[in-house]
């Protein structure tokens, strides 16, 4: 069981870090990292200023203390670069990691996911993918990191309900794949456990969760008072 005071402390720290993660998503990353069995390291693709990195690292510290490899060229994604100014997030990332006292467990790799994967020899127990959001690049992240993930390891993808690229990749190659079971989603994150081959029961369940995910997303398109939408979303969550 995760201690509530742990979570409250991480919330306090991460609230001060600019980023793109809900607290529920942060708690999910914390608990996935805490549950790592120590047979593989933790990898993060896309760290920005370290918000998700801190959640992962704090969770790992409560568990088997697997290293967290934080991979990011720190020059931003296309959606950030459009703003016209030069982006360099590494200094702020380092400062936030040190301030959160997780610099002993976080290993920054200032490269793109593709470059980092070329000479990455460690086995991966958990990977969180939140780098470039274009369909081809999310698919590339899945393809190059999947072979490095251990059997039973977890792959997690951010922005799979709202961004067309990650959404389509997980729907086509995770929810409908024969190599994942226990697929689920919390807020915008989809998680899945790698298996050599899933069973028919796993595939039925994965498709059922995909149907719930589609239902969950469609609630925002219906013209209803906010309170009604949040009530329907709560009911959908109870159906997991
Ligand atoms: C949405 S931000 C990540 C947010 C972060 N996970 C958080 O919780 O605050 C996306 C990050 O991906 C990085 N990025 C873009 N292309 C990348 C690539 N090919 N490989 C690794 N990281 C990439 C960008 O530099 C940016 O920092």
pTM to 2 decimals? 0.95
Protein residue whose Cα sits closest to atom 18 of ligand 1: 112
Domain count, the chain: 1
Phi, psi angles (nearest 5°) of residue 88? -150, 100
Residue that the structure tokens 């460690």 belong to: 122
So what's the pLDDT on residue 83? 63
DSSP state of 146: G
d(CA 102, CA 98): 6
Contact indicator for 37, 151 with CB cutoff of 8 Å = no
- Span from the CA of 203 to the centroid of ligand 1 (angstroms): 31
Bridge partners, residue 181, by sequence: 193
Bridge partners, residue 44, by sequence: 70, 128
The CATH number of whichever domain residue 213 belongs to comes to: 3.40.50.150
Domain that holds residue 175: 4-238
Tell me the average confidence (pLDDT) per consecutive run of 10 residues in the chain, 240 residues long: 77 96 97 95 98 98 97 89 82 98 98 98 98 98 98 98 96 98 96 98 97 92 87 87
Ligand 1 residue neighbourhood (C-beta within 6 Å): 19-21, 45-48, 51-52, 71-77, 89, 112-113, 130-132, 137
């Amino acid at each position: 069981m995760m201690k509530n005071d742990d979570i409250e402390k991480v919330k306090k720290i991460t609230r001060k870090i600019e980023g793109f993660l809900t607290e529920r998503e942060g708690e999910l990353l914390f608990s996935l990292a805490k549950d790592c069995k120590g047979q593989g390291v933790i990898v993060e693709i896309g760290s920005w200023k370290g918000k998700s990195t801190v959640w992962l690292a704090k969770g790992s510290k409560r568990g088997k203390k697997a290293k967290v490899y934080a991979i990011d060229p720190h020059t931003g994604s296309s959606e950030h670069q459009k703003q016209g100014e030069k982006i360099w997030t590494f200094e702020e990332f380092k400062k936030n990691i040190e301030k959160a006292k997780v610099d002993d467990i976080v290993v920054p790799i200032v490269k793109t996911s593709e470059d980092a994967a070329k000479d990455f020899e460690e086995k991966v127990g958990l990977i969180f993918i939140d780098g470039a959001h274009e369909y081809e690049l999310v698919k590339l992240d899945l393809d190059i990191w999947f072979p490095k993930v251990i059997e039973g390891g977890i792959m997690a993808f951010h922005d799979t309900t709202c961004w067309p690229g990650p959404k389509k990749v997980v729907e086509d190659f995770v929810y409908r794949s024969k190599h994942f079971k226990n697929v689920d989603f919390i807020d915008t994150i989809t998680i899945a456990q790698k298996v050599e081959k899933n069973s028919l029961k796993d595939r039925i369940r994965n498709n059922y969760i995909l149907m719930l995910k589609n239902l969950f997303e469609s609630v925002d398109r219906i013209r209803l008072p906010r309170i009604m939408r949040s009530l329907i979303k709560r009911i959908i969550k109870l159906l997991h």
